[in-house]
Amino acid sequence: MKNVTVSMDDAVAEWARLEAARRNTSVSRLLGELLAEKMRHDDAYERALQDWLHRERAWASDGQPHPSRAER
């Protein structure tokens, strides 16, 4: 594990202390867990986006305009 120093506004630090106490953990562990969750979320989003961008499309346009609402 790596030790780092983090600077934050006083109000954020107070929230972090209260939230850590509510979860019965340390501020350090709370921040580590929050950042790990953010990393997993961002990684999952990026994988899903790349999958969608590289997926072969089964649909294609024949160049005709879309039907108007009245034509549907």
pLDDT in tens, 25-60: 999 999 999 999 999 999 999 999 999 999 987 777
* Domains in the chain: boundaries: 9-53
Confidence of residue 65 (pLDDT cuts 50, 70, 90): confident
Which residue in this structure is represented by tokens 């986006």?
49
